[in-house]
Chain A
Amino acid sequence: MTGKQKKAFWNAVQTGLIVMATLIMLVPIAWIFMAAFKSHVDVYQLKLFFRPTLENFALVFREPYNLGEKLWNSTLVALATVVIAIPIATMAAYSFSRFRLRGETVMLVTILATQFVPAVVIILPFFVMFRDVGLLDTRLGLILVNLAIVMPFAIWMIKGFIDGIPLDTEEAAMVDGSSRLQVIRNIVLPMAAPGLLTAGIFCFILAWNEFLFALILTSKDAVTLPIGLALFKAEEGDLWNLLSAAGIIIMLPMFILALMIRKFFVQGMTMGAVR
């Protein structure tokens, strides 16, 4: 084989492998996607051609499933988590990045270390605590829990982006007449915007998918979508068609966000310095 042929051959092999891996990963999703549009009788058959129906999507929003309520809870909890987490994390990240704080390294490592504790270990104390202050089965309680989960990630992620902004740029702005707050508003935030967006989306996904805490800490009023899926276990077995429809409702925002995150992530990485 010539060098050119060799290269073409390896390219073909690579492409083949990638397509295969993608297919393997996509099969469950494809299955769910199809199941969501199948009628109850069709679900257990691996038919590729069937009469699609939107009935499942209508059903899940009706009694007794009431997915709308859960969708509302999930949206509210995830959005509130992001809206609270990102500004606070940005302030923390800016301080960690730009000021010399006493015990900075210790604090940063501690923040990260909270993530090493398995959730199962701390869930009981959370339960007891929330019961005592009346936060059980409330959205506020879930928001607090989610904040605890996403903050370390958000701080570390945003700090990385702010670290990438050259100090010179900020110093120039200060000499040009900006106060520290103006520097942050006019220089740091616009330059870190792709990073903040990425971190925000990331936090949203974490909060949206959070399962364990929501399972233990909610029962009726504050139930979120992932927990809501458990409702589709009926006496006659799992209601796969409804489960799939709900699954798609959960996945849809994630798909959109994942696409966005990709775009901004690349932008955030390449924005960097101008020297």
Chain B
Amino acid sequence: MAEVVLKNLTKRWGGFVGVDNQSLHIADKEFLVLLGPSGCGKTTTMRMIAGLEEPSSGEIWIGERMVNDDLPKDRDVAMVFQNYGLYPHMSVFDNIAYPLKVRGTPKADIAPRVRAAAEKVELTHLLDRRPKALSGGQRQRVALARAIVRTPQVFLMDEPLSNLDAKLRVSMRAELKHLSRELQITTIYVTHDQIEAMTLADRVAVMNHGVIQQLGTPDEIYNDPANLFVAGFIGSPAMNLIDGSIREGHFVTTGGTRLTAVRAADRARVVLGVRADDLRVSEPGEGDIDVPIYAFENTGEATLLTVQWGQQRVIARGDRHLRKEQNDIVGLSLNPDHLYLFDPDTGRRLTA
């Protein structure tokens, strides 16, 4: 059990920067999620912590030790690889048992611990199989079991649920959450999946181009985005981003519509961010603006209205019983408590 500290960690390949001067303090027992688009350096960060990739510069601390020069085996971490990294010549049982065997666990302890780990990921009926004879999701669970069979200082999990079907993913997510609360081991978890990030994380680090864009609780990331990238990346559907300016204290779209709900200091160019949930759908004339529907979607648990607002399309979430047709006119009103203004040049959030 230990905290993990990254100090100015950088990874370069020739001129290409994979991870850029990253500093991060992960508390003991914390569950930190690395979230970001493909190629942003999540796996690279993990591999550097595990000791599989040598940092170009910077320091990695696990607990009291700087581990930059330690071999992977001496770092006492367990990792779930993005593409499993199973041992094809061993049975599932031996795969899971390997970390115990190689670290000299007494023989009598091995079998019960392997069985316990396999039980947690619902693998007990497959222990005699070879990895080749497993489905993708089953292989992923073997990789997971191999990681949790031991009690390491740190868990590193690189998209451990990405190949599971939707149902299994939900149950494994809950299992992971339960496990992490139970085991109380510092965990760094990489995912593309926002729901995984929101539900599992104590804190989320949103990454882009090798740089952490924002580090905060899921709540902060969702409700208090630090910049345009985070605002646009988090949330499904993505936050609506509307170009305009602030004139005489109010937001004016490039099309010229004035929104009195937004109050701020005058500024030539701003981007207004508003989530689909913070747009209230009403009858024409009852909202701040009247707009035609470009597309109407019913997801079952809600309705999604894509509306044409001047040059831009905006998505609003409506009641699940709402029924509208394409080209119908609806009124939209903005919730003044949940509006975000960004500087379009720096992307930075403007505080009102």
Is B78 touching A175 in the complex (CB atoms < 8 A)? yes
Task: Known contacts A179-B71, A274-B139; decide if A172 and B102 are in contact (CB<8 Å).
Answer: no
Is B73 touching A274 in the complex (CB atoms < 8 A)? no
User: Which residues of the other chain, B, contact A8 by a CB distance below 8 angstroms?
Assistant: none
Is B89 touching A168 in the complex (CB atoms < 8 A)? no
Is B102 touching A171 in the complex (CB atoms < 8 A)? no
In the complex, chain B residues 49-74 whose Cβ is within 8 Å of any chain A Cβ:
50-52, 71-73
Is A190 touching B89 in the complex (CB atoms < 8 A)? yes
User: Which residues of the other chain, B, contact A272 by a CB distance below 8 angstroms?
Assistant: 88
Is A168 touching B87 in the complex (CB atoms < 8 A)? no
Is B73 touching A172 in the complex (CB atoms < 8 A)? no
Is B87 touching A187 in the complex (CB atoms < 8 A)? yes
Q: Is B84 an interface residue (CB 8 A)?
A: yes
Q: With the chains together, A274 CA to B73 CA distance in Å?
A: 23
For A271, the closest partner residue in chain B by CB is: B88
Is B73 touching A169 in the complex (CB atoms < 8 A)? no
Q: With the chains together, A273 CA to B131 CA distance in Å?
A: 10
Q: With the chains together, A227 CA to B122 CA distance in Å?
A: 64
The listed residue (B52, B102, B156) touching A177 by CB distance below 8 A is B102
> Dominant SS at the A interface?
helix
Is B102 touching A169 in the complex (CB atoms < 8 A)? no
For A193, the closest partner residue in chain B by CB is: B89
For A174, the closest partner residue in chain B by CB is: B72
User: Which residues of the other chain, A, contact B52 by a CB distance below 8 angstroms?
Assistant: 171, 174-175
User: Which residues of the other chain, B, contact A166 by a CB distance below 8 angstroms?
Assistant: 83, 85
Q: Is B347 an interface residue (CB 8 A)?
A: no
The smallest C-beta distance from A186 to any residue of chain B, in angstroms, reads: 7
Q: Is A182 an interface residue (CB 8 A)?
A: yes
Interface residues on A, range: 20 to 34
The smallest C-beta distance from A65 to any residue of chain B, in angstroms, reads: 47
Q: Is B216 an interface residue (CB 8 A)?
A: no
* B125-163 interface bits toward A, Cβ cutoff 8 Å, 1 = contact, 0 = none: 000000110000001000100100000000010000000
Number of residues of chain B lying within 8 A (CB) of chain A: 28
User: Which residues of the other chain, B, contact A271 by a CB distance below 8 angstroms?
Assistant: 88-89
The listed residue (A177, A190, A191, A275) touching B73 by CB distance below 8 A is A177
> Dominant SS at the B interface?
mixed
Q: With the chains together, A186 CA to B73 CA distance in Å?
A: 15
Is A168 touching B85 in the complex (CB atoms < 8 A)? yes
Q: Is B212 an interface residue (CB 8 A)?
A: no
Q: With the chains together, A271 CA to B99 CA distance in Å?
A: 23
Q: With the chains together, A139 CA to B53 CA distance in Å?
A: 48
Is B83 touching A175 in the complex (CB atoms < 8 A)? no
In the complex, chain A residues 222-275 whose Cβ is within 8 Å of any chain B Cβ:
271-275
Is A274 touching B132 in the complex (CB atoms < 8 A)? yes
The listed residue (B51, B71, B81, B132) touching A172 by CB distance below 8 A is B81
User: Which residues of the other chain, B, contact A209 by a CB distance below 8 angstroms?
Assistant: none
Is A171 touching B71 in the complex (CB atoms < 8 A)? no
Q: Is A75 an interface residue (CB 8 A)?
A: no
In the complex, chain A residues 161-189 whose Cβ is within 8 Å of any chain B Cβ:
166, 168-169, 171-179, 182, 186-187
The smallest C-beta distance from A84 to any residue of chain B, in angstroms, reads: 26
Chain A interface (Cβ < 8 Å from any Cβ of B) = 166, 168-169, 171-179, 182, 186-187, 190-191, 271-275
Given contacts A172-B84, A177-B103, 15 further A-B contacts (CB under 8 A): A169-B85, A169-B86, A171-B52, A171-B81, A172-B79, A172-B86, A172-B146, A173-B98, A174-B71, A174-B72, A176-B102, A177-B73, A182-B102, A187-B87, A274-B84
Chain B interface (Cβ < 8 Å from any Cβ of A) = 50-52, 71-73, 75, 77-79, 81, 83-89, 98-99, 102-103, 131-132, 139, 143, 146, 156
Q: Could you name 11 residue pairs across A and B whose Cβ atoms are closer than 8 Å?
A: A168-B85, A172-B85, A172-B143, A173-B87, A173-B102, A175-B79, A176-B78, A177-B73, A177-B102, A187-B89, A190-B89
